[in-house]
Structure formats: C-alpha cells, structure tokens
Amino acid sequence: MRVGAVRVSWTLLDERRRGTRFVRLPIKSILNSPQQTGMGFWSLNPYVGCEFGCTYCFARFAHRYVVERGREGGEPGTGAWDDAAFERQVFVKSEAPDVLALTLKPSRLGDAAIAIGTATDPYQPAERRFRLTRRILERLAQFHGLNVSLVTKSPLVVRDLDVLARLAERSRLTVYLSLITVEVPLIKKLEARSPMPQVRLRALKRLAAGGISAGVMIAPVLPGVTDGVTQLGALMRAARDAGASFVHAAPLRLYPAVRPIFLPVVARHFPALLARYERAFDARGGISEPYAAALERRVARLQRTLGFPTWAEDEAARGRYRRRSEMTDDLGQWVLPL
C-alpha cells in the first residue's frame, strides 16, 4: 500500500494460538468527518476487525474493504476476505494516538461529538496488548470542551476509569455499554466470544459509581428475537439496577456484507423467522419504516415506565424532535415466542 509517495508494508504485530493475526495498518488520519460518514458526528476506530465476531456486526464491510485494498496492493499477510476474516485478522492503527494529537483541531468539530467505537469495539481483547484506546483517551483528556462518546461490550473499559474521569472533568463524556439481551443462551448463539451480560452490567455499575455518564445501547434489536416487551423490559430493568443513566435502542441493519453471516444463524436457531428476514430488509439493509417506528414507540413506553429519558425527550433537548404519526407499538408478525 502507498501512503503518500512511500510504499509501506503492513507488519504482523502479534498472532494468537487460535490463529487470529494482528496487523499494523498505516494511517494518515484517524478521525472520520460527518461528511465522510453521513452521520452527525466524527468517528474514531482504533482497530478494523474485532475478535468478538458478533454474527450481526455491520462493520464487516469496512474490514472487507481494507483486506481487498491490501490484496490489490500486494500487501503481505492479507489474503482473500472470507466470512471469518473479520475476527481472525484485526488491523491495528498503531499510530492512532500520535496522529490524533497532530491532526485534532477542536475548532473544526463545531458542536459535533467524537464517537469512539462506531465500527469495531475499542476494548476488544486486542486492547489489552496494544492499549490504543487508553492512549487516545489520554490525548483527548488534554483538551477542554469536547463532546466524546464511546461504545463497547467489554468490561475492560473500567481499566481506564482514571483517564475517563480526567476526560469527563474537561469535556462531555458518555459511555455506552452495548448489550442486546440479558439471556445468556441467546448471547452464546449470537455473539459467543463477547463478554456475558452480567459482566457487562457490573462494568456499567462501576462506571456509574465512578461518576461517569453511562448507559446501555440496545443495538441491534433483532426482530422476532429480542424485540418483545418481556425481553426489552428485562434488559432495561437490569440496566437501571446497574445505575444506567439512559438506554438507547436501534433495530438491526442487515447490510449486504452481514446477510451471508447472519441469515444462516437465523436459519439454524430461528428457522420460523428466516423467510421474514429474507424479505423484510431493503437493499441497503434497512428494515421497514413501520417496524422501526413501532419499535421506537415500544422502547419509549418502557423507558417512561422505568424512569429513563425517551428518545423524543432526548431529541427535543437537542432541537431535533420529530413526531410519529402512528401511536401503536404493535410489532405485528415479528413478535414470536423464542
């Protein structure tokens, strides 16, 4: 691969006994702008690829792009992309903290947040070895007046409570613990290598006790699997008991790179839902607007019941509230007993 006019080879940094390889990914920048992503925030990902390997993860497309770009450039150790590549070959942006220090200009950010971990988990097991996320947070803690959010499934985040506290003193900081269910058998079917629910909830409790604004990100909500009132309610109550300040939720996006990974999981564990999954998502991976709207209302009703701020309240506070026309939270044919 060429960085500027200089050819730079990817370097193998580490390799697990089970075969996972960690490859240095040269970078010239680390922040992705809202114009690049189409989102209302800046994003930052220290790694590409993730050892957790969740079956529904939408970030596989970004990993595939990096692998195929490297293969075209004749880089060693990349190989062809396959279904297992996302979790078996993790790209490490080793220079990320230094690049961030050299390129971050708070005046460019405006009111937009910096979101860490939008594509791959910043506290996946590789972070124990490389400590990139901690070093990035240390850089951000040197600034004042930023708006930083971080999303992770990992209890490793509490390792950095000291840095998070320093960052929160100078800037707005929000930490999201990602969790789709409190049902352990379901977690083992969908994301077998990720930390178990109670471990994540204990991490949430420690963050809250440490004065960090922290809550739960229920994403993705899986139609017919985790979208029932009972399942969502149990998860939100567990979040509340762990000290969560908020819960947010969003439905599954079945991107083209995700379909061949996730649909076989549906066929194996939830065969009655397979035909519905095959036809319910559009070409870009989005589920129908009526379903998304109904899910939003269901989540809001549970939020009000359990004392959390609703999506509408949060949007109103930011001046972005839009009213939904239908008032039912009936998810119709999707909701089936597990």
Residue 229 belongs to a domain:
yes
- 């269901």: which residue's tokens? 298
Residue 48 belongs to a domain:
no
Highest mean predicted confidence (pLDDT) among 79-88, 154-163, 305-314: 154-163
Q: Is 272 exposed, middle or buried (0-12, 13-18, 19+ CB in 10 A)?
A: exposed
- 């004392």: which residue's tokens? 307
Residue 25 belongs to a domain:
no
Q: Which two tokens stand for residue 317?
A: 């506070």
Nearest Cα to Cα of residue 282 among 321, 244, 263, 254:
254
Q: Which residues contact 74 (CB under 8 A, 6 or more apart)?
A: none
**E strands present in 25-65:** 31-32, 42-44, 47-48
Residue 215 belongs to a domain:
yes
Count of structural domains, the chain: 1
Residue 246 belongs to a domain:
yes
Residue 260 belongs to a domain:
yes
Which domain covers residue 245, as residue numbers? 179-318
Q: Which residues contact 91 (CB under 8 A, 6 or more apart)?
A: 10, 22, 23, 24, 25, 47, 48, 49, 63, 66
- Give the pTM: 0.88
Q: What is the pLDDT of residues 98-132, one digit of tens each?
A: 999 999 999 999 889 999 999 899 999 999 999 99
Nearest Cα to Cα of residue 298 among 262, 253, 328:
328
Residue 17 belongs to a domain:
no
DSSP 139-198: HHTTSSS-EEEEEES-GGGGGGHHHHHHHHHHSEEEEEEE-S-S-HHHHHHH-TTSPPHH
Q: What is the pLDDT of residues 24-65, one digit of tens each?
A: 999 999 999 999 888 899 999 999 999 998 999 988 777 766
Cβ(58)–Cβ(253) below 8 Å:
yes
Residue 74 belongs to a domain:
no
